Each structure stands twice: as structure tokens, then as C-alpha cells.
Amino acid sequence: MTKQFKRLTDSQWAAISPFLPLNRRRRSDLREVINAILWLLRTGCQWRNLSGEYPHWQTVYYYFDRWKADGTLERINRELNQLDRKRQGRQAYPSVFCIDSQSVKLAPMICADPGLDAHKKVNGRKRQLLVDTGGRLWAADVHSANQADGPASLPLVSGILWYGDRIEKVFGDQAYGGVFACELSKWGVDFERASRPESSQGFVPVAERWVVERSIGWTNRTGDPVLPSNRQGLRAHSIFFG
């Protein structure tokens, strides 16, 4: 995680550029478009207040929206996760995932998909994060905060199954022990509750969940946490900051 925005280095651009349509001339430099998206994510700025040193905000938003819809951001994220795992001497795809959620307040002027998380007293949205044991974000979903974790996390099951036969287990708290765990079991994936012992008092770190809590903390430091409004958009946080 970087403490402040930095433009893409040549090596970073070399890793990302093969996924982008660079086979024809364009009015806008796609590298600068990516830098603009990074700047927006890092600062939490509104689209219309994008700095003048980047392409026009409507151009940047056009590519951002297009790459969300066609899965480009998702493919970049997946490939970079694999490269990072291989660099550490691990298999490309994980065998264990950790899942958790966080409710966040909506930014002003945003009225789509609001909800009240009565437990945490947060009026806004809830984001579900699925990470591996290194904290890399592999899948995410964003929905209104009033939805329960278990049922609302069901869309992530397909994301878990996509990563193949290596997937053995998913760790999560008791909120995921119902319909989410049952859906995983249908596909031969175990769910294990990772919560502090009921007899403990105060803060007790749980090893299997600490990694996803840390990933949530990373997203808190990347600017406006509710800028993207769907799962592909949120994965952009992982691409550049995770």
C-alpha cells in the first residue's frame, strides 16, 4: 500500500498494458487514463473535479465504465495476483479464502442502493471482500448495508468456484455459517468459522480473519471507499493498492 499517489512506473505499465486496447491510435493516452483512475481512487475526488493534467473526466470515466463492464479490470487484477503469488513461490491460485464485510457511509450526492446497518449504525453500503491468505483481493461485491452478510455474499460463490479444484476452504465469521456455508458445501468447499472464543473478552485477533481485516483497512486508505458501485469497480482497489 502506498501512502500517496504515484504515477505508474514503466514496469507497472508493462504488466498492465497487454490487457488494454493499444492496437490503434487514440486521442487520449491510455497510460494517462490509468493514472487518472489511480489518482481518483487514491484521493476520493469527484469525477468532475479531476485534475486538468489528465484527460477530460468524461473520457476517463468512459474507459473506467467500459473496463468494468467487459471485465478488463477483473482480468488485470487476477493476473497481477497470480504473478505476485508466483513471485513468492506459491501456486497461481489459492486453496484457501477469507471473507468478511464492512459497512461504509455513502458519499454526499450518492443515493443509489442505500441501506441502514442497524448493528453497526451505518447508513450506506456494505462491501464483501474475498481475499487469499496473503490479503490479495480476488472477488468483491457491493450492496446496500441493510442486507445480511450470509445471503448477500451468495454472488461470491461463483467467484470462488471459478478458481478451480484447488479451493478447499473459506474462513469467515458466524454470519456466513448459514446459507453461504450451505451453498459452498454443495460444491465440496468447506466453510470454517473463524471467530474469537465466546469466553474471551476485549479485542482478540483471530489469525484466519486478521488478513481480511487488514485488506479492509487497505481499502480505507485508498480514497473514497464507495466510489465504485459494483464488484468489478471495487476490484480496482486490489489491482493498484492491495
**Helical ranges in 174-230 per DSSP H:** 179-186, 207-220
Per-residue pLDDT tens for 94-125?
A: 999 999 988 888 776 666 777 777 777 888 88
Q: What single letter denotes the amino acid at residue 3?
A: K
CA nearest neighbour of 96 among 234, 21, 16, 191: 191
CA nearest neighbour of 172 among 150, 189, 192, 186: 192
What are the start and end residues of each CATH 3.30.420.10 domain in the chain?
93-237
Backbone torsions φ then ψ of 136, nearest 5 degrees = -75, 135
What per-residue confidence (pLDDT) applies to 82?
A: 92
DSSP secondary structure of 203-219: ----HHHHHHHHHHHHH
DSSP state letter for 147: S
Q: Which residue has the higher pLDDT, 45 or 16?
A: 16
Q: Which residue has the higher pLDDT, 219 or 184?
A: 184
Residues in the chain: 242
What per-residue confidence (pLDDT) applies to 10?
A: 92
What per-residue confidence (pLDDT) applies to 221?
A: 61
Out of 69-78, 122-131, 207-216, least confident range: 207-216
Q: Which residue has the higher pLDDT, 217 or 13?
A: 13
Check whether 222 has a pLDDT greater than 80.
no
Q: Which residue has the higher pLDDT, 209 or 232?
A: 209
Confidence of residue 217 (pLDDT cuts 50, 70, 90): confident
Per-residue pLDDT tens for 120-161?
A: 788 888 889 999 988 899 998 888 888 888 898 999 998 888
Residue pair 91/165 in contact (Cβ under 8 Å)? The answer is: no
Q: Which grid cell sits at 76?
A: 488485470
Question: What's the predicted TM-score (pTM) here?
Answer: 0.77
> Cell numbers 470515466 label which residue?
61
What per-residue confidence (pLDDT) applies to 158?
A: 87
223 C-beta neighbours (distance < 10 Å), count: 18
Confidence of residue 2 (pLDDT cuts 50, 70, 90): low
What per-residue confidence (pLDDT) applies to 114?
A: 75
CA nearest neighbour of 102 among 46, 74, 141: 141
Torsion angle of the four alpha carbons 137, 140, 142, 147, in this order, in degrees rounded to the nearest 10: -110
Backbone torsions φ then ψ of 179, nearest 5 degrees = -65, -35
* Rounded percentage of the chain residues whose pLDDT exceeds 90: 36
- Angle at the Cα of 216 (from 99 to 20), degrees rounded to 5? 90
Q: Which residue has the higher pLDDT, 109 or 82?
A: 82
Q: Which residue has the higher pLDDT, 118 or 83?
A: 83
Helix, strand, coil percentages (3-state) for the chain, rounded to 5, are 45, 15, 40
Measure the CA–CA gap between 52 and 232, rounded to whole angstroms.
26
What per-residue confidence (pLDDT) applies to 216?
A: 82
SS3 106: coil
What per-residue confidence (pLDDT) applies to 231?
A: 36
**Fold classified for 93-237:** Nucleotidyltransferase; domain 5 (3.30.420)
Q: Which grid cell sits at 84?
A: 505476485
Out of 22-26, 98-102, 182-186, 206-210, least confident range: 206-210
Measure the CA–CA gap between 140 and 156, rounded to whole angstroms.
7
SS3 134: coil
What per-residue confidence (pLDDT) applies to 240?
A: 40
CA nearest neighbour of 216 among 237, 186, 189: 237
